[in-house]
Structure 1
Protein backbone atom coordinates (compact mmCIF):
# COMPACT_ATOMS: atom_id res chain seq x y z
CA UNK A 1 0.00 0.00 0.00
CA UNK A 2 1.14 3.54 -0.67
CA UNK A 3 0.65 6.59 1.49
CA UNK A 4 -0.05 10.16 0.49
CA UNK A 5 3.32 11.87 1.09
CA UNK A 6 3.18 15.19 2.88
CA UNK A 7 5.28 17.94 1.32
CA UNK A 8 6.92 18.86 4.60
CA UNK A 9 9.43 21.70 4.55
CA UNK A 10 13.07 20.86 5.14
CA UNK A 11 15.72 23.28 6.28
CA UNK A 12 18.90 23.22 4.21
CA UNK A 13 22.19 23.69 6.02
CA UNK A 14 23.54 27.07 4.89
CA UNK A 15 26.55 27.52 7.16
CA UNK A 16 30.21 27.63 6.13
CA UNK A 17 30.87 24.09 7.28
CA UNK A 18 28.24 22.76 4.86
CA UNK A 19 29.66 24.71 1.89
CA UNK A 20 31.76 22.21 -0.05
CA UNK A 21 34.69 23.90 -1.78
CA UNK A 22 35.70 22.69 -5.24
CA UNK A 23 37.41 24.09 -8.31
CA UNK A 24 34.09 25.45 -9.55
CA UNK A 25 33.43 27.73 -6.57
CA UNK A 26 36.75 28.32 -4.82
CA UNK A 27 37.46 31.64 -6.55
CA UNK A 28 33.99 32.99 -5.75
CA UNK A 29 34.31 31.93 -2.13
CA UNK A 30 37.65 33.72 -1.86
CA UNK A 31 36.14 36.94 -3.19
CA UNK A 32 33.14 36.71 -0.87
CA UNK A 33 35.33 36.08 2.16
CA UNK A 34 37.42 39.15 1.26
CA UNK A 35 34.35 41.38 1.82
CA UNK A 36 36.24 43.92 3.90
CA UNK A 37 38.23 44.83 0.76
CA UNK A 38 35.45 44.90 -1.87
CA UNK A 39 35.97 47.84 -4.23
CA UNK A 40 33.24 50.34 -3.48
CA UNK A 41 31.95 48.04 -0.77
CA UNK A 42 29.91 45.88 -3.14
CA UNK A 43 30.07 42.55 -4.94
CA UNK A 44 27.83 40.79 -7.49
CA UNK A 45 27.66 37.02 -6.99
CA UNK A 46 26.45 35.24 -10.11
CA UNK A 47 25.79 31.70 -11.24
CA UNK A 48 23.18 29.38 -12.66
CA UNK A 49 20.09 28.39 -10.68
CA UNK A 50 21.00 26.05 -7.85
CA UNK A 51 24.72 26.84 -8.15
CA UNK A 52 25.05 27.84 -4.49
CA UNK A 53 24.41 31.59 -4.56
CA UNK A 54 21.98 31.49 -1.65
CA UNK A 55 24.25 29.27 0.41
CA UNK A 56 27.25 31.52 -0.18
CA UNK A 57 25.17 34.63 0.56
CA UNK A 58 24.29 33.16 3.95
CA UNK A 59 27.92 32.22 4.57
CA UNK A 60 28.81 35.87 3.98
CA UNK A 61 25.93 37.10 6.11
CA UNK A 62 27.12 35.01 9.05
CA UNK A 63 30.66 36.33 8.67
CA UNK A 64 29.78 39.99 8.06
CA UNK A 65 26.79 40.27 10.38
CA UNK A 66 24.62 40.95 7.36
CA UNK A 67 20.94 40.39 6.63
CA UNK A 68 19.71 38.53 3.54
CA UNK A 69 16.63 39.84 1.68
CA UNK A 70 14.97 39.00 -1.61
CA UNK A 71 15.11 41.73 -4.24
CA UNK A 72 11.38 41.49 -4.99
CA UNK A 73 10.59 42.21 -1.32
CA UNK A 74 12.56 45.45 -1.17
CA UNK A 75 9.61 47.81 -1.88
CA UNK A 76 7.95 46.57 1.33
CA UNK A 77 11.18 46.60 3.38
CA UNK A 78 12.33 49.18 5.91
CA UNK A 79 15.31 50.46 3.92
CA UNK A 80 16.80 52.73 6.62
CA UNK A 81 16.68 49.81 9.09
CA UNK A 82 18.44 47.57 6.59
CA UNK A 83 21.07 50.20 5.88
CA UNK A 84 21.65 50.71 9.59
CA UNK A 85 22.74 47.07 9.86
CA UNK A 86 25.62 48.03 7.59
CA UNK A 87 25.73 44.88 5.45
CA UNK A 88 22.96 43.52 3.22
CA UNK A 89 22.72 40.68 0.71
CA UNK A 90 20.01 41.20 -1.90
CA UNK A 91 19.16 37.97 -3.68
CA UNK A 92 17.86 37.39 -7.21
CA UNK A 93 18.19 40.93 -8.49
CA UNK A 94 17.65 39.52 -12.00
CA UNK A 95 14.05 38.69 -10.99
CA UNK A 96 13.15 42.37 -10.59
CA UNK A 97 12.52 42.69 -14.33
CA UNK A 98 9.74 40.08 -14.10
CA UNK A 99 7.71 42.06 -11.55
CA UNK A 100 4.51 43.88 -12.62
CA UNK A 101 6.07 47.13 -11.38
CA UNK A 102 9.83 46.63 -11.54
CA UNK A 103 10.59 50.33 -11.08
CA UNK A 104 9.50 50.18 -7.45
CA UNK A 105 11.99 47.44 -6.62
CA UNK A 106 14.68 49.19 -8.66
CA UNK A 107 14.10 52.43 -6.77
CA UNK A 108 14.28 50.60 -3.45
CA UNK A 109 17.55 48.87 -4.38
CA UNK A 110 18.97 52.16 -5.67
CA UNK A 111 18.19 53.91 -2.37
CA UNK A 112 19.52 51.00 -0.32
CA UNK A 113 22.72 51.01 -2.36
CA UNK A 114 23.21 54.73 -1.80
CA UNK A 115 22.48 54.55 1.93
CA UNK A 116 24.95 51.72 2.41
CA UNK A 117 27.55 53.42 0.24
CA UNK A 118 27.22 56.70 2.11
CA UNK A 119 27.70 54.98 5.45
CA UNK A 120 30.60 52.79 4.31
CA UNK A 121 28.43 49.64 4.39
CA UNK A 122 28.63 46.49 2.30
CA UNK A 123 26.23 45.25 -0.38
CA UNK A 124 26.14 41.78 -1.94
CA UNK A 125 23.77 41.23 -4.88
CA UNK A 126 23.07 37.88 -6.52
CA UNK A 127 21.52 36.78 -9.79
CA UNK A 128 21.92 34.65 -12.89
CA UNK A 129 24.50 36.01 -15.29
CA UNK A 130 26.48 39.22 -14.97
CA UNK A 131 24.70 42.44 -13.83
CA UNK A 132 24.83 43.76 -17.40
CA UNK A 133 22.24 41.08 -18.29
CA UNK A 134 19.79 41.84 -15.47
CA UNK A 135 17.49 44.13 -17.52
CA UNK A 136 17.68 47.01 -15.05
CA UNK A 137 15.75 49.94 -16.52
CA UNK A 138 16.99 52.57 -14.05
CA UNK A 139 20.21 53.79 -15.62
CA UNK A 140 21.78 55.07 -12.38
CA UNK A 141 21.16 51.74 -10.65
CA UNK A 142 22.45 49.76 -13.61
CA UNK A 143 25.70 51.74 -13.69
CA UNK A 144 26.23 51.18 -9.96
CA UNK A 145 25.64 47.45 -10.25
CA UNK A 146 27.99 47.22 -13.24
CA UNK A 147 30.70 48.83 -11.09
CA UNK A 148 30.47 46.07 -8.48
CA UNK A 149 33.13 43.40 -8.23
CA UNK A 150 32.10 40.13 -9.89
CA UNK A 151 32.30 36.64 -8.38
CA UNK A 152 31.02 33.78 -10.54
CA UNK A 153 30.09 30.28 -9.46
CA UNK A 154 31.12 27.96 -12.27
CA UNK A 155 29.56 24.75 -13.56
CA UNK A 156 29.77 22.05 -10.87
CA UNK A 157 32.56 19.51 -11.18
CA UNK A 158 32.34 15.83 -10.20
CA UNK A 159 33.48 16.39 -6.63
CA UNK A 160 30.90 19.14 -6.06
CA UNK A 161 28.05 17.12 -7.60
CA UNK A 162 28.81 14.17 -5.32
CA UNK A 163 29.03 16.44 -2.27
CA UNK A 164 25.76 18.20 -3.12
CA UNK A 165 23.93 14.88 -3.41
CA UNK A 166 25.18 13.90 0.04
CA UNK A 167 24.30 17.33 1.48
CA UNK A 168 20.76 17.44 0.10
CA UNK A 169 20.17 13.89 1.29
CA UNK A 170 21.35 14.96 4.75
CA UNK A 171 19.15 18.08 4.68
CA UNK A 172 16.14 15.91 3.84
CA UNK A 173 17.20 13.16 6.27
CA UNK A 174 17.04 10.58 3.49
CA UNK A 175 18.05 6.98 4.11
CA UNK A 176 20.26 6.43 1.06
CA UNK A 177 22.05 3.34 -0.10
CA UNK A 178 25.77 4.27 0.31
CA UNK A 179 26.31 3.48 -3.38
CA UNK A 180 23.65 5.92 -4.52
CA UNK A 181 25.56 9.26 -4.53
CA UNK A 182 28.18 7.91 -6.94
CA UNK A 183 25.47 6.28 -9.08
CA UNK A 184 23.46 9.49 -9.35
CA UNK A 185 26.51 11.70 -9.90
CA UNK A 186 27.30 9.80 -13.10
CA UNK A 187 23.75 9.85 -14.46
CA UNK A 188 21.90 13.01 -13.44
CA UNK A 189 21.97 16.24 -15.41
CA UNK A 190 24.99 18.31 -14.30
CA UNK A 191 22.84 21.02 -12.79
CA UNK A 192 22.53 21.49 -9.05
CA UNK A 193 18.90 22.51 -9.50
CA UNK A 194 18.20 19.25 -11.39
CA UNK A 195 19.94 17.23 -8.69
CA UNK A 196 17.82 18.87 -6.01
CA UNK A 197 14.68 18.11 -8.01
CA UNK A 198 15.68 14.47 -8.49
CA UNK A 199 16.28 13.97 -4.78
CA UNK A 200 12.96 15.64 -3.97
CA UNK A 201 11.25 13.15 -6.32
CA UNK A 202 13.02 10.24 -4.64
CA UNK A 203 12.01 11.57 -1.23
CA UNK A 204 8.33 11.83 -2.18
CA UNK A 205 8.19 8.41 -3.82
CA UNK A 206 10.05 6.70 -0.99
CA UNK A 207 7.64 8.19 1.53
CA UNK A 208 4.66 7.12 -0.57
CA UNK A 209 5.68 3.45 -0.70
CA UNK A 210 7.68 3.35 2.55
CA UNK A 211 10.87 2.14 0.90
CA UNK A 212 14.54 2.83 1.40
CA UNK A 213 16.15 4.73 -1.45
CA UNK A 214 18.33 2.16 -3.18
CA UNK A 215 20.02 2.10 -6.58
CA UNK A 216 17.24 -0.04 -8.18
CA UNK A 217 14.58 2.23 -6.64
CA UNK A 218 16.29 5.37 -7.98
CA UNK A 219 16.72 3.74 -11.38
CA UNK A 220 12.99 3.03 -11.50
CA UNK A 221 11.73 6.37 -10.14
CA UNK A 222 14.04 8.58 -12.19
CA UNK A 223 14.06 6.44 -15.32
CA UNK A 224 17.82 6.02 -15.25
Structure 2
Protein backbone atom coordinates (compact mmCIF):
# COMPACT_ATOMS: atom_id res chain seq x y z
CA UNK A 1 0.00 0.00 0.00
CA UNK A 2 1.41 3.42 -0.97
CA UNK A 3 1.44 6.57 1.13
CA UNK A 4 -1.20 8.06 -1.16
CA UNK A 5 -3.51 5.16 -0.31
CA UNK A 6 -3.08 5.84 3.40
CA UNK A 7 -4.54 9.33 3.22
CA UNK A 8 -7.64 9.45 5.40
CA UNK A 9 -10.57 11.62 4.35
CA UNK A 10 -11.59 12.91 7.77
CA UNK A 11 -13.64 15.76 6.35
CA UNK A 12 -13.66 19.31 7.61
CA UNK A 13 -16.15 21.68 9.18
CA UNK A 14 -16.36 25.04 7.40
CA UNK A 15 -16.53 28.10 9.62
CA UNK A 16 -20.13 29.26 9.41
CA UNK A 17 -20.33 32.08 11.95
CA UNK A 18 -21.46 35.62 11.08
CA UNK A 19 -17.91 36.91 11.52
CA UNK A 20 -16.66 34.33 9.02
CA UNK A 21 -19.02 35.44 6.26
CA UNK A 22 -17.41 37.83 3.81
CA UNK A 23 -19.69 40.73 2.89
CA UNK A 24 -19.00 42.38 -0.46
CA UNK A 25 -21.02 44.36 -3.03
CA UNK A 26 -22.18 41.13 -4.68
CA UNK A 27 -23.89 39.84 -1.53
CA UNK A 28 -24.42 42.91 0.66
CA UNK A 29 -28.09 43.33 -0.31
CA UNK A 30 -28.84 39.71 0.55
CA UNK A 31 -27.13 40.06 3.92
CA UNK A 32 -29.07 43.25 4.66
CA UNK A 33 -32.41 41.61 3.89
CA UNK A 34 -31.63 38.59 6.07
CA UNK A 35 -30.76 40.89 8.95
CA UNK A 36 -34.20 42.52 8.61
CA UNK A 37 -36.01 39.27 9.37
CA UNK A 38 -38.91 38.90 10.06
CA UNK A 39 -39.71 42.26 8.42
CA UNK A 40 -39.99 40.93 4.85
CA UNK A 41 -42.61 41.85 2.23
CA UNK A 42 -45.50 39.38 2.53
CA UNK A 43 -43.41 37.51 5.15
CA UNK A 44 -41.31 35.79 2.49
CA UNK A 45 -37.93 36.22 0.78
CA UNK A 46 -35.95 34.46 -1.95
CA UNK A 47 -32.20 34.40 -2.54
CA UNK A 48 -30.77 33.34 -5.87
CA UNK A 49 -27.34 33.08 -7.42
CA UNK A 50 -24.94 30.65 -9.11
CA UNK A 51 -23.86 27.44 -7.43
CA UNK A 52 -21.05 28.07 -4.98
CA UNK A 53 -21.80 31.78 -4.52
CA UNK A 54 -22.38 31.31 -0.80
CA UNK A 55 -26.16 30.84 -0.54
CA UNK A 56 -26.05 27.79 1.71
CA UNK A 57 -23.39 29.41 3.87
CA UNK A 58 -25.54 32.51 4.16
CA UNK A 59 -28.55 30.44 5.22
CA UNK A 60 -26.46 28.90 8.02
CA UNK A 61 -25.23 32.35 9.06
CA UNK A 62 -28.84 33.57 9.08
CA UNK A 63 -29.81 30.79 11.47
CA UNK A 64 -26.86 31.45 13.76
CA UNK A 65 -27.33 35.23 13.72
CA UNK A 66 -30.96 34.95 14.85
CA UNK A 67 -30.43 31.98 17.18
CA UNK A 68 -32.67 29.69 15.11
CA UNK A 69 -32.70 25.89 15.11
CA UNK A 70 -34.86 25.74 11.99
CA UNK A 71 -33.74 22.95 9.63
CA UNK A 72 -32.85 23.77 6.05
CA UNK A 73 -35.09 21.66 3.81
CA UNK A 74 -33.80 20.59 0.38
CA UNK A 75 -36.54 21.35 -2.15
CA UNK A 76 -36.09 17.90 -3.69
CA UNK A 77 -37.25 16.31 -0.42
CA UNK A 78 -40.53 18.21 -0.14
CA UNK A 79 -43.71 16.18 -0.57
CA UNK A 80 -47.35 17.14 -0.21
CA UNK A 81 -48.09 14.90 2.80
CA UNK A 82 -45.14 16.09 4.86
CA UNK A 83 -45.76 19.73 3.99
CA UNK A 84 -49.20 19.46 5.59
CA UNK A 85 -47.97 17.66 8.73
CA UNK A 86 -44.55 19.09 9.52
CA UNK A 87 -44.17 21.33 12.53
CA UNK A 88 -43.46 24.91 11.47
CA UNK A 89 -40.98 27.21 13.18
CA UNK A 90 -40.89 31.00 13.05
CA UNK A 91 -39.27 30.67 9.64
CA UNK A 92 -39.28 27.81 7.14
CA UNK A 93 -36.16 27.54 4.96
CA UNK A 94 -36.14 25.71 1.62
CA UNK A 95 -32.87 25.45 -0.32
CA UNK A 96 -32.04 24.32 -3.89
CA UNK A 97 -35.38 25.51 -5.24
CA UNK A 98 -34.32 24.58 -8.78
CA UNK A 99 -34.58 20.92 -7.74
CA UNK A 100 -38.21 21.20 -6.64
CA UNK A 101 -40.13 18.10 -7.73
CA UNK A 102 -43.44 18.50 -5.89
CA UNK A 103 -44.90 21.93 -6.60
CA UNK A 104 -48.04 21.20 -4.59
CA UNK A 105 -45.91 20.51 -1.52
CA UNK A 106 -44.28 23.93 -1.67
CA UNK A 107 -47.64 25.61 -2.27
CA UNK A 108 -49.17 23.86 0.77
CA UNK A 109 -46.15 24.74 2.88
CA UNK A 110 -46.35 28.37 1.80
CA UNK A 111 -50.05 28.50 2.67
CA UNK A 112 -49.35 27.10 6.13
CA UNK A 113 -46.65 29.67 6.85
CA UNK A 114 -49.08 32.44 5.88
CA UNK A 115 -51.85 31.00 8.05
CA UNK A 116 -49.59 30.71 11.10
CA UNK A 117 -47.92 34.10 10.65
CA UNK A 118 -44.53 32.50 10.06
CA UNK A 119 -42.05 33.47 7.36
CA UNK A 120 -40.66 31.60 4.36
CA UNK A 121 -37.10 31.77 3.04
CA UNK A 122 -36.31 30.22 -0.34
CA UNK A 123 -32.95 29.86 -2.06
CA UNK A 124 -31.87 28.58 -5.45
CA UNK A 125 -29.73 29.16 -8.49
CA UNK A 126 -32.44 30.79 -10.61
CA UNK A 127 -34.62 33.80 -9.88
CA UNK A 128 -38.12 32.64 -8.85
CA UNK A 129 -39.65 34.16 -11.98
CA UNK A 130 -37.35 32.05 -14.17
CA UNK A 131 -38.30 28.72 -12.63
CA UNK A 132 -40.36 26.40 -14.80
CA UNK A 133 -43.44 25.96 -12.64
CA UNK A 134 -46.59 24.27 -13.94
CA UNK A 135 -48.86 25.02 -10.96
CA UNK A 136 -50.46 28.37 -11.81
CA UNK A 137 -51.09 29.47 -8.21
CA UNK A 138 -47.51 28.73 -7.21
CA UNK A 139 -46.16 30.45 -10.31
CA UNK A 140 -48.18 33.55 -9.48
CA UNK A 141 -46.98 33.60 -5.90
CA UNK A 142 -43.35 33.19 -6.94
CA UNK A 143 -43.81 36.09 -9.34
CA UNK A 144 -44.81 38.37 -6.48
CA UNK A 145 -42.04 37.20 -4.15
CA UNK A 146 -39.33 39.66 -3.16
CA UNK A 147 -36.13 38.13 -4.56
CA UNK A 148 -32.54 39.22 -4.02
CA UNK A 149 -29.72 38.11 -6.27
CA UNK A 150 -26.19 37.31 -5.20
CA UNK A 151 -23.92 38.53 -7.97
CA UNK A 152 -20.61 37.42 -9.40
CA UNK A 153 -17.68 38.03 -7.03
CA UNK A 154 -14.90 40.50 -7.77
CA UNK A 155 -11.17 39.77 -7.50
CA UNK A 156 -10.89 40.92 -3.89
CA UNK A 157 -13.75 38.73 -2.75
CA UNK A 158 -12.46 35.72 -4.67
CA UNK A 159 -9.08 36.12 -2.99
CA UNK A 160 -10.71 36.42 0.43
CA UNK A 161 -12.90 33.38 -0.25
CA UNK A 162 -9.88 31.34 -1.32
CA UNK A 163 -8.00 32.27 1.84
CA UNK A 164 -11.07 31.32 3.90
CA UNK A 165 -11.40 27.96 2.13
CA UNK A 166 -7.82 27.14 3.06
CA UNK A 167 -8.35 28.40 6.62
CA UNK A 168 -11.48 26.24 7.03
CA UNK A 169 -9.23 23.23 6.44
CA UNK A 170 -6.48 24.64 8.67
CA UNK A 171 -4.16 24.98 5.68
CA UNK A 172 -1.60 27.75 5.44
CA UNK A 173 -0.47 28.87 2.01
CA UNK A 174 1.57 31.75 0.68
CA UNK A 175 0.20 34.78 -1.14
CA UNK A 176 1.93 33.51 -4.28
CA UNK A 177 -0.25 30.38 -4.21
CA UNK A 178 -3.45 32.41 -3.87
CA UNK A 179 -2.44 34.75 -6.69
CA UNK A 180 -1.44 31.88 -8.96
CA UNK A 181 -4.71 30.00 -8.44
CA UNK A 182 -6.87 33.08 -9.04
CA UNK A 183 -5.02 33.82 -12.25
CA UNK A 184 -5.55 30.38 -13.74
CA UNK A 185 -8.43 28.50 -12.09
CA UNK A 186 -12.13 28.74 -12.88
CA UNK A 187 -13.47 31.94 -11.33
CA UNK A 188 -16.34 30.59 -9.27
CA UNK A 189 -16.82 29.66 -5.64
CA UNK A 190 -17.59 26.06 -6.55
CA UNK A 191 -14.44 25.66 -8.64
CA UNK A 192 -12.25 27.23 -5.97
CA UNK A 193 -13.77 24.92 -3.39
CA UNK A 194 -12.96 21.90 -5.52
CA UNK A 195 -9.43 23.16 -6.09
CA UNK A 196 -8.80 23.58 -2.36
CA UNK A 197 -10.23 20.12 -1.65
CA UNK A 198 -7.93 18.51 -4.21
CA UNK A 199 -4.91 20.38 -2.88
CA UNK A 200 -5.79 19.32 0.65
CA UNK A 201 -5.97 15.67 -0.41
CA UNK A 202 -2.66 15.89 -2.26
CA UNK A 203 -0.95 17.60 0.65
CA UNK A 204 -2.22 14.94 3.03
CA UNK A 205 -1.28 12.00 0.83
CA UNK A 206 2.20 13.35 0.03
CA UNK A 207 2.88 14.71 3.52
CA UNK A 208 3.98 17.98 1.93
CA UNK A 209 2.83 21.59 2.31
CA UNK A 210 0.92 23.21 -0.55
CA UNK A 211 3.20 25.12 -2.90
CA UNK A 212 3.26 26.36 -6.47
CA UNK A 213 4.56 23.05 -7.82
CA UNK A 214 1.60 21.15 -6.40
CA UNK A 215 -0.84 23.79 -7.66
CA UNK A 216 0.62 23.59 -11.17
CA UNK A 217 0.25 19.81 -11.17
CA UNK A 218 -3.38 20.01 -10.05
CA UNK A 219 -4.21 22.62 -12.68
CA UNK A 220 -2.44 20.63 -15.40
CA UNK A 221 -4.33 17.51 -14.39
CA UNK A 222 -7.55 19.50 -14.48
CA UNK A 223 -6.84 20.65 -18.03
CA UNK A 224 -6.19 17.06 -19.09
CA UNK A 225 -9.48 15.89 -17.59
CA UNK A 226 -11.83 18.68 -18.65
CA UNK A 227 -14.20 16.14 -20.12
CA UNK A 228 -14.41 14.31 -16.80
CA UNK A 229 -14.74 17.26 -14.44
CA UNK A 230 -17.75 19.45 -13.86
CA UNK A 231 -16.91 23.06 -13.11
CA UNK A 232 -19.93 25.20 -12.31
Normalising by structure 2, what TM-score? 0.85
User: C-alpha offsets along residues 38-57 of structure 1, whole Å, 9 cap, x if unaligned?
Assistant: 11011110000000110111
Mapped partners of 1:121, 1:129: distance in 2: 24
> Which ranges of structure 2 fall in alignment gaps of 5 or more residues?
224-232
Mapped partners of 1:112, 1:17: distance in 2: 32
Pairwise CA RMSD: 2.0
Alignment of 1:66-145 (within 5 A): 66-75=70-79, 77=82, 79-83=84-88, 85-96=89-100, 102=101, 105-145=102-142
SS in 1 for 2:38: helix
**Count of aligned positions:** 216
Mapped partners of 2:94, 2:196: distance in 1: 28
1:43–1:149 contact (8 Å) kept in structure 2: yes
User: C-alpha offsets along residues 73-102 of structure 1, whole Å, 9 cap, x if unaligned?
Assistant: 22285654442x120110001112xxxxx2
SS in 1 for 2:148: strand
Counterpart residue number, 1:43? 45
The runs of 4+ residues in structure 1 deviating greater than 6 Å are: none
**Is 1:180 matched up with 2:184?**
no
> Which ranges of structure 1 fall in alignment gaps of 5 or more residues?
97-101
Shift of the 167–77 alpha-carbon distance from structure 1 to 2, 3 Å rule, reads farther
